[in-house]
Chain A
Amino acid sequence: MELFRLGIHEIRELLDKKEVSPKDVLDSVFSRIASVEEKVKAFVTVTKDRAYDMLDDALAENTILSGIPLAIKDNMCTKGIRTTCSSRMLENFIPPYEGTATSRLRGYVLAGKTNLDEFAMGSSTENSAFHTTKNPWDLSRIPGGSSGGSAAAVAADECIAALGSDTGGSIRQPAALCGVVGLKPTYGRVSRYGLIAFASSLDQIGPITKNVRDSALLMNIISGHDPLDSTSAPVTVPDFTASLGRHIKGLKIGVPKEYFIEGMDRKVENAVRDAVGKLESLGAIPIEVSLPHTEYAVATYYVLAASEASSNLARYDGVKYGLRVEGKDLIDMYMNTRAAGFGPEVKRRIMLGTYALSSGYYEAYYRKAQQVRTLIKRDFEEAFKTVDVIATPTAPEVAFQAGEKTEDPLKMYLSDIFTISVNLAGVPAISVPCGFASQEGGAASLPIGLQLIGKHFHEQTILQAAYAYEQATDWHKRRPEL
């Protein structure tokens, strides 16, 4: 049996029945990594030796995750394990502490730290300072980003499941492009303590998994208020697996007209419309809704995220940790360090954000963007007065060719056009596989993602709908050939 193919709950069952041993699971996953990682390049660091060393301790925890190998995006601090953010700046940074989300994954075994766009800024992993991760469905294409490493590792079966982080679509877009399930929780649902900040008011950690049940299962584990994160919400955490398998008869599904736009990939549009049809056949009621401020989302996002990033990344100054490039004086050292440590996209956003916050521009950019953010939030509140879930495409197109958009940042930014509003509004959303787009010339078909957006702290509802859809379709059973 190819154990690496399985998800968390399937492995758990086999382990509990003692049909396989925990070592079998590790052997299977690490041999899979050994055979495909060279092609996929999902990881920055593979932690194989440590995984075997830690196995006994992991089993002693006796949890649902005990002995199960997961991959963690390399922007979450793992104590004693290099955490790079795929940046030269932190190439040799070993955190002295563990973040909250990963410390809640008691009993898990770390398979490795996955690649990302430097500091989570990008939509393809091409901004990684180390290497670009390949889309397991077509190695000439990108896996999406910024959690491209985690999504590719899950799709290529190099781990059982993974954690990613999502600031403007960084879990959902790569999940869609890699044909796996990715969930961005409500802002405040999962602690950010230990997540290396890109944009504090938007960042959120979430699961990337092979199926919806595993997504719910990981949500049960990582969610909940954390006294170390003031923005984590003191709300009770339901059992997210409880709603799985419930029918969706009468569930009102909003279809926003602003998300089916001119110029989007016809195959994506058709797949998503078919998916809405499938949900309707399961008893859900599609209703057209409007999110009128959608067209301002990308601009709003790039002002706010860049503003926060310009401040969040100020700590990388060569003084305390990370890269230092000496100079003739202090200012020189600062400039040499930051010139050498950050890649072009990070520098671009730091400059953008610094500009937007500068005196004389603050009102026109930062303040205005905050006001628009409020309007976007209201759009969702308004829509959710009439519907339970909103269905949209996750990304406007399927995985694109490596190098296709690297010369045009604006084009790259538009990859997140359907995911960004969700972060601005703080609501939860999940991406599930909803079809494949065939390519010309006999190349492998490429996955398409359906995004289901929910009300604040209503992850159960989108999980319920996603699960119903998943159970009624076979998309999630397909695997790339590697």
Chain B
Amino acid sequence: MHYEAVIGLEVHAQMSTETKIFCGCLTKFGSEPNTQTCPVCIGMPGALPVLNKKALEFAVRAGLALNCGISPMSRFARKNYFYPDLPKGYQISQYELPICEHGFLEIVADGGLKKIGVTRVHMEEDAGKNIHEGAGNSSLVDLNRAGVPLMEIVSEPDIRSPKEAAEYMKKLRTMLRYLGVCDGNMEQGSLRCDANVSVREEGSKGLGVKVEVKNINSFRFVEKALEYEIKRQIKAIKDGGSIIQETRLWDSDAGITQSMRTKEEAHDYRYFPEPDLAPIAVRQEWIDEIRASLPELPDAKRQRFVSSYSLPEYDADILISEKPLSEWYEEAVNAGGQPKAVSNWMMGEMMKLLNEDGINIENCPLKPEQLADMLSLIDKGTISGKIAKTVFEEMFRTGKDAESIVIEKSLVQITDKDAILKAVDEILAKSPKEVERYRAGEEKLIGFFVGQAMKLTKGKANPAALNEILKRKLSDK
């Protein structure tokens, strides 16, 4: 009997607003504990929340990009539970009337496109952080993160495999970064994911008992955790057992999920409408304004790159994966770079150097025009493709233009036939044995002569001219 998985994801994305959702405190990551707090986010008696309009705008942006309807009337609700990192004893979230509903996200699955339903997008505040190290028997609480705005994006149970789940997460991350509403930094916890998983007989319409898996914090873990959990459930059923509705925690060190609490132990959050915040009325004109301000989204951009620049899907996919990367690309092309050549250089040399130095495209020391200029030097024959690699690295390291580097380092390609002839003569004179062997039929030695001549000309000889002259000279008996 074959089983299939039914998966729904709940993604918590930290919004990249400058200030918190209900007060004016900064959201900056990594500050000294409790330095970004005020009476509101500490939950002082008498303090009241006021909605940060930017957070609302970000949620609407995300909702529109995810093809959701935006609720003209939406509400906050209190989710009540006790925990030291939750200063008010409740989290302000949304429950009955979320800001966005009924959308979808398209992912690539089995070579085709697949729509994953988005049930809802709602706003809520993040909790603080408990710190257990360095306090002896007690724990410490850092409330810098308390009140940082979150979007919870809940998918329909449309996902059928761990791979699809990872695709969905990646796509969502790219999308949110394009929109500028979340930095997508998983190490810093800007994007966190819980999964609802069940299994059923393939072809069956019903749903199995679902298990919630918490604490999935990287793309790799999305796949691993789900693979583990699906196997565990299938095995339990095949062994004649049954699945119990529960919450399990992903332990990334052990590579397993472990039971955290069963349905009976589940919290009763006692949701009720937040009386400290008026219902949120969103005007259609404002929604239209936000819609008009949406950037070109990844899917549209990929299609355009393929059709306008005749790029292979593969290239387009990589170039659009990050908005700044795609922008860098287009600037280089607009500065005159041949589209495919720009793509090759970016995906090859540039990525290599960026990775080596551990910097991202936003901080790339090389300007798109510089690459375009360098490419034109190749086209004009001023430098060879081989020399260009040296020039490229030099530009990257020093920020200087290709042209000045070429002049400074006298890297101009030697196309003058007489000069090449002179070099060839010198090489042939120095290597009589190799010349003899070549002429005796060992033609692969051509590489040796090219190498020697390049060494002599410091790599500047025009490769085509050199080849031609070498072959002619060697065949002159």
Contacts and interface: CB of A to CB of B under 8 A. Distances in A.
A357 B271 CA distance: 7
Given A311-B272, A314-B88, A317-B89, A77 B42 contact: no
B89 A230 contact: no
Contacts of A75: 46
A366 interface: yes
B48 A230 contact: yes
Contacts of A317: 82, 84, 89
A197 B49 CA distance: 13
Contact of A195 (B46, B141, B271, B278): B46
Interface in B47-86: 47-51, 78, 80, 82, 84
A231 B84 contact: no
B82 A95 contact: no
Contacts of A195: 46
11 contacts: A85-B45, A90-B45, A95-B45, A95-B46, A193-B46, A194-B47, A200-B276, A314-B89, A320-B141, A358-B268, A359-B270
Interface in B251-280: 268, 270-272, 275-278
Nearest to B277: A230
B33 interface: no
A97 B39 contact: yes
Interface of B: 39, 42-51, 78, 80, 82, 84, 87-90, 141, 268, 270-272, 275-278
Given A227-B50, A357-B80, A359-B268, A311 B89 contact: yes
Nearest to A321: B44
A396 to B, nearest CB: 28
Interface of A: 75-77, 83, 85, 90, 93, 95-97, 99, 192-197, 199-201, 227-231, 307-308, 310-311, 313-315, 317, 319-321, 330, 334, 354, 357-359, 362, 366
Nearest to A313: B89
B272 A307 contact: yes
Nearest to A367: B272
Contacts of A96: 39, 44
A315 B87 contact: yes
Given A314-B89, A319-B141, A362-B270, 9 more contacts: A192-B46, A192-B48, A196-B46, A230-B276, A315-B88, A317-B82, A319-B87, A320-B43, A330-B84
Contact of B87 (A228, A320, A366): A320
Contacts of B87: 315, 319-320
Contacts of A307: 272
Nearest to B40: A228
Contacts of B48: 192-193, 228-231
B270 A354 contact: yes
A201 to B, nearest CB: 4
A281 to B, nearest CB: 43
A314 B80 contact: yes
B24 to A, nearest CB: 10
A432 B209 CA distance: 64
Given A314-B82, A319-B84, A358-B270, A194 B46 contact: yes
B265 to A, nearest CB: 13
Given A314-B82, A315-B89, A366 B272 contact: yes
B90 A314 contact: yes
A96 B45 CA distance: 10
**What 4 A-B pairs have minimum CB-CB distances, sorted nearest first?**
A314-B89, A357-B270, A200-B275, A201-B275
The SS class assigned to the A binding surface is: loop
A401 B275 CA distance: 36
Contacts of B44: 77, 95-97, 321
Contacts of A313: 89
B277 A311 contact: no
B45 A334 contact: no
B103 to A, nearest CB: 28
A358 B266 CA distance: 13
A191 B387 CA distance: 72
A356 to B, nearest CB: 9
A359 B271 CA distance: 9
Contact of A362 (B43, B45, B272): B272
A231 B276 contact: yes
B51 A230 contact: yes
B362 to A, nearest CB: 35
Contacts of A95: 39, 44-46
A395 to B, nearest CB: 26
- Which of the listed residues A231, A310, A319, A359 has the most CB atoms from chain B within 10 Å of its own CB? A319
B271 to A, nearest CB: 8
Nearest to A338: B82
B205 to A, nearest CB: 28
A312 B49 CA distance: 13
B45 A77 contact: yes
Nearest to B268: A359
- Which of the listed residues A83, A197, A230, A307 has the most CB atoms from chain B within 10 Å of its own CB? A230
A368 to B, nearest CB: 13
B379 to A, nearest CB: 61
A273 B359 CA distance: 83
B270 A196 contact: no
A99 B90 contact: no
Contact of B42 (A194, A227, A320): A320
Contacts of A228: 48, 50
Contacts of A192: 46, 48
A311 B50 contact: no
Given A311-B80, A357-B270, A358-B268, A77 B90 contact: no
A268 B271 CA distance: 42
Nearest to B50: A230
A358 B42 CA distance: 26
Contact of B43 (A193, A194, A199, A315): A315
A95 B277 CA distance: 23
Contacts of A308: 272, 275
Nearest to B90: A311
A314 B89 CA distance: 5
Contact of A315 (B45, B49, B141, B277): B45
A72 to B, nearest CB: 12
A367 to B, nearest CB: 9
- Which of the listed residues A85, A90, A96, A314 has the most CB atoms from chain B within 10 Å of its own CB? A314
